[in-house]
């Protein structure tokens, strides 16, 4: 294998970043960019929560509020949670499988630039005449039509999301090819780390789900500018068709945003339980089942249209709870009897489990059409979604940052500040979003900037706003932690946690092509095997075999 030179020589640091094709630098660009967008989306959330602290309109106009919730949702989904997962995958997937780089390094570079450019286009739409898009992150037709959303803001939203979609598809192709073709000798499919497995399955979801989104957006743009009538019932079109196309993307997208973090949590819990993962095969099959089922539940978002087969989508939605339950069972089984270490990454994982459980259970409630008819477009849905994506993904994102930061930089984050951040975010999160369940049950609609003062909505809204500020303090302490880590440069060592997977074998940060050497790979814990190679209890020559139609399947 021939090696590459990394960045263009002779230039400055900026030129190195601009011309990079190295997967680790590209991963850092993804992660850094996503975090900047997270702060932007968070700022929008704070503005909305401040507005909702009192019943009447105070400092935002109705249209400004509509723009804020649209771009907040778009930013968090398309520019933060999904791409930061791709960022961690870019950095760690090749390391975990013992590869020197991604399969297509230049396509990888193109992907990250398309993501960042798409993000810039979406954010800059605030400066457009008529303002940014204001039709919600789902951009339902006809609200997103030329009549419902005049001005270029909506068009910029379409093009920005299209750019990030192309980026995601290219990255998914790259990750899939890398896993299938660049594994180290002995790294069979059923020795892959669970994060890698989950990224492979996530990539499959992206490849199937994002093309319908690109089609829906293209058709919407044609309707807006080229006289199309795809979503115009007056000329034979169908607004329900837009919903079908959008949610065929939209529901798998939920799992594009969640499965990577299932993988992260599954990496971290065994390490901090000082035990092997309980039920490796079950975890892989559960991820596959979740992904497959997620492709067949899209219309549970459309129960109230009256135009879909509610029983079919309801049953398929209920079924997803089964593999998800298996995951919870296995995480608990891994911790059971383990020597638990409550370091910061583990705390975030436990927070993830608690919050995601609430999101999951309320998801089962929403999968029942009679209940969904009551909850549709209320704050109950807002609370559920935030418990899944905030309580689930966000907590695991923090877990990933605290777990892998030492590997990426060679420096330690502060354990003390990390715990402080965790408790601020944990308390703030629940104070923010739990009252939203109450608001939903009391009938408060989502996407409204003001509300009547005497219907029992004021106190929960005040609580939610206080919670949001508590979370914001937590995020500020997190930023302080990051700055201090780079300032104090306390060395972390190559393996500060006693990790199980191959990234903990190499130096921190890893060299240009990741590894100077590799240990024999004889299980799904090669780093652990190598560290304990003198211990007779470690069996080197066993490998997982499972009967079935495929190799190891």
Partner 1 sequence: MKGSMWFWAYVAAFGFVVGGIYWLLTYEDAGTAMLLFMGACGTVISGYLFLRRRHVRLIEDDPDARHEEATEEEIGHFSSGSVWPIFMGIGIAIGLLGFIFGRWMIVFGAILFVWATVGLMQESRG
Site for partner 1 in 201-260 (CB under 8 A): 204, 207-208, 212, 221, 225, 241, 244-245, 248
Question: CA dist 102 to 95, 139, 515, 521, Å?
Answer: 10, 34, 14, 20
Taking alpha carbons only, the member of 438, 485, 441, 492 closest to residue 464 is 438
Taking alpha carbons only, the member of 166, 198, 193, 187 closest to residue 85 is 198
Tokens matching residue 135: 């039709």
Segment interacting with partner 1 (CB under 8 A) among 109-117, 324-332, 423-431, 481-489: 109-117
Asked if 37 touches partner 1 (CB under 8 A), the answer is no
Q: Which residues pair with 411 in a beta bridge?
A: 491
How far apart CA 48 and CA 121 sit, in angstroms, is 22
| Residue 215, φ and ψ in degrees, nearest 5 | -65, -45
Q: Which of residues 427-486 bind partner 1 (CB under 8 A)?
A: none
Whole-number minimum distance, CB 231 to partner 1, in Å? Answer: 12
Q: Which residues pair with 445 in a beta bridge?
A: 378
Q: Which is nearer to partner 1, 243 or 465 (CB)?
A: 243
Q: Which is nearer to partner 1, 10 or 536 (CB)?
A: 10
Q: Binding partner 1 by CB under 8 A: which of 73, 118, 392, 435? A: 118
Q: Which is nearer to partner 1, 534 or 541 (CB)?
A: 541
How far apart CA 307 and CA 298 sit, in angstroms, is 13
Asked if 93 touches partner 1 (CB under 8 A), the answer is no
Q: Which is nearer to partner 1, 299 or 344 (CB)?
A: 299
How far apart CA 58 and CA 56 sit, in angstroms, is 6
Q: Which is nearer to partner 1, 230 or 497 (CB)?
A: 230
Q: Which is nearer to partner 1, 3 or 454 (CB)?
A: 3
| Contact predicate 231/318, CB 8 Å | no
Tokens matching residue 165: 């979609």
| Residue 63, φ and ψ in degrees, nearest 5 | -70, -40
**Residues 6 or more apart in contact with residue 284 via CB below 8 angstroms:** 190, 194, 197
Whole-number minimum distance, CB 26 to partner 1, in Å? Answer: 10
Q: Which is nearer to partner 1, 189 or 427 (CB)?
A: 189
Q: Binding partner 1 by CB under 8 A: which of 46, 47, 64, 117? A: 117
Q: Binding partner 1 by CB under 8 A: which of 12, 129, 185, 370? A: 185
Asked if 541 touches partner 1 (CB under 8 A), the answer is yes
| Contact predicate 471/428, CB 8 Å | yes
How far apart CA 136 and CA 198 sit, in angstroms, is 29
Q: Which is nearer to partner 1, 173 or 258 (CB)?
A: 173
How far apart CA 64 and CA 47 sit, in angstroms, is 10
Whole-number minimum distance, CB 101 to partner 1, in Å? Answer: 5
Asked if 188 touches partner 1 (CB under 8 A), the answer is yes
The size of the interface with partner 1 (CB under 8 A), counted in residues, is 77
Asked if 518 touches partner 1 (CB under 8 A), the answer is yes
Taking alpha carbons only, the member of 294, 502, 257 closest to residue 396 is 257
Q: Which of residues 142-161 bind partner 1 (CB under 8 A)?
A: 152, 155-156, 159
Asked if 162 touches partner 1 (CB under 8 A), the answer is yes
Q: Which is nearer to partner 1, 127 or 452 (CB)?
A: 127
Q: Binding partner 1 by CB under 8 A: which of 68, 81, 121, 347? A: 121
Taking alpha carbons only, the member of 364, 383, 398, 544 closest to residue 464 is 383
| Contact predicate 417/453, CB 8 Å | no
Q: Which of residues 287-326 bind partner 1 (CB under 8 A)?
A: 288, 292, 295-296, 298-299, 308-309, 312
Whole-number minimum distance, CB 327 to partner 1, in Å? Answer: 19
Whole-number minimum distance, CB 9 to partner 1, in Å? Answer: 8
Q: Which is nearer to partner 1, 16 or 462 (CB)?
A: 16
Q: Binding partner 1 by CB under 8 A: which of 189, 214, 357, 364? A: 189
Asked if 173 touches partner 1 (CB under 8 A), the answer is no
Q: Binding partner 1 by CB under 8 A: which of 47, 509, 520, 538? A: 520
Whole-number minimum distance, CB 305 to partner 1, in Å? Answer: 12
Q: Which is nearer to partner 1, 295 or 371 (CB)?
A: 295
Tokens matching residue 294: 């997620």
Whole-number minimum distance, CB 183 to partner 1, in Å? Answer: 4
Buried b (16+ CB within 10 A) or exposed e, 183-203: bbeebebbbbbbbbbbbbbbb
Q: Binding partner 1 by CB under 8 A: which of 183, 300, 384, 412? A: 183
Buried b (16+ CB within 10 A) or exposed e, 394-409: bbbbbbbbbbbbbbbb
Q: Binding partner 1 by CB under 8 A: which of 110, 357, 441, 448? A: 110
Asked if 2 touches partner 1 (CB under 8 A), the answer is yes
Whole-number minimum distance, CB 110 to partner 1, in Å? Answer: 4
Asked if 1 touches partner 1 (CB under 8 A), the answer is yes
How far apart CA 129 and CA 139 sit, in angstroms, is 18
3-state secondary structure of 349: helix
Whole-number minimum distance, CB 160 to partner 1, in Å? Answer: 9
Q: Binding partner 1 by CB under 8 A: which of 32, 55, 136, 186? A: 186
Asked if 122 touches partner 1 (CB under 8 A), the answer is no
DSSP string, 434-470: HHHHHHHHTTPBSS-S---TTSS-HHHHHHHHHHHHH
Asked if 81 touches partner 1 (CB under 8 A), the answer is no
| Contact predicate 249/216, CB 8 Å | yes
Asked if 114 touches partner 1 (CB under 8 A), the answer is yes
How far apart CA 343 and CA 419 sit, in angstroms, is 8
């Amino acid at each position: 294998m021939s090696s590459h030179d990394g960045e263009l020589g002779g230039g400055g640091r900026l030129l190195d970043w601009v011309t990079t094709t190295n997967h680790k630098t590209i991963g850092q660009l993804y992660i850094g960019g996503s975090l900047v967008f997270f702060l932007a989306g968070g700022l929008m959330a704070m503005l909305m929560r401040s507005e909702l602290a009192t019943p009447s309109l105070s400092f935002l106009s109705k249209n400004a509020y509509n723009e804020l919730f649209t771009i907040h949702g778009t930013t968090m989904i398309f520019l933060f949670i999904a791409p930061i997962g791709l960022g961690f995958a870019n950095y760690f997937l090749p390391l975990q499988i013992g590869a020197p780089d991604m399969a297509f390094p230049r396509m990888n570079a193109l992907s990250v630039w398309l993501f960042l450019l798409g993000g810039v286009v979406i954010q800059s739409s605030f400066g457009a005449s008529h303002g940014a898009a204001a039709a919600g992150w789902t951009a339902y037709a006809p609200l997103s039509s030329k009549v419902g959303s005049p001005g270029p803001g909506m068009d910029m939203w379409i093009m920005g999301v299209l750019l990030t979609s192309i980026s995601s598809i290219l990255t998914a192709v790259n990750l899939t090819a890398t896993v299938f073709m660049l594994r180290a000798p002995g790294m069979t499919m059923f020795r892959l780390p669970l994060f890698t497995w989950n990224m492979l399955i996530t990539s499959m979801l992206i490849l199937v789900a994002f093309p319908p989104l690109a089609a829906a957006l293209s058709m919407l743009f044609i309707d807006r500018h080229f006289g199309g009538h795809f979503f115009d019932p007056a000329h034979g079109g169908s607004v329900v068709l837009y919903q079908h196309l959008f949610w065929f993307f939209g529901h798998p997208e939920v799992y594009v945003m969640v499965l990577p973090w299932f993988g992260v949590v599954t990496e971290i819990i065994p390490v901090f339980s000082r035990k092997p993962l309980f039920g490796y095969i079950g975890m892989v099959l559960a991820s596959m089942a979740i992904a497959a089922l997620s492709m067949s539940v899209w219309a549970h978002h459309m129960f109230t249209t009256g135009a879909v087969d509610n029983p079919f989508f309801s049953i398929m939605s209920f079924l997803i709870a089964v593999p998800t339950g298996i995951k919870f069972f296995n995480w608990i089984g891994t911790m059971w009897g383990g020597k638990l270490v409550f370091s910061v990454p583990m705390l975030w994982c436990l927070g993830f489990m608690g919050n995601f459980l609430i999101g999951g259970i309320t998801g089962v409630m929403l999968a029942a059409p009679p209940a969904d008819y009551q909850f549709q477009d209320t704050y109950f849905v807002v609370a559920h979604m935030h418990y899944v994506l905030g309580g689930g993904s966000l907590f695991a994102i923090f877990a990933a940052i605290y777990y892998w930061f030492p590997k990426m930089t060679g420096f330690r984050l502060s354990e003390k500040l990390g715990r402080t951040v965790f408790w601020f975010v944990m308390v703030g999160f629940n104070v923010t979003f739990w009252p939203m369940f109450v608001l939903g049950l009391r009938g408060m609609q989502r996407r409204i900037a003001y509300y009547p003062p005497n219907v029992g909505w004021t106190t929960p809204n005040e609580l939610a706003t206080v919670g949001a500020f508590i979370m914001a303090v937590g995020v500020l302490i997190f930023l302080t932690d990051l700055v201090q880590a780079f300032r104090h440069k306390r060395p972390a060592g190559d393996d500060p946690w006693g990790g199980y997977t191959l990234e903990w074998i190499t130096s921190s940060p890893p060299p240009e092509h990741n590894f100077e050497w590799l240990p024999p790979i004889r299980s799904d814990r090669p780093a652990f095997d190598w560290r304990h190679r003198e211990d007779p209890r470690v069996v080197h020559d066993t490998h997982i075999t499972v009967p079935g139609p495929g190799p190891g399947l």
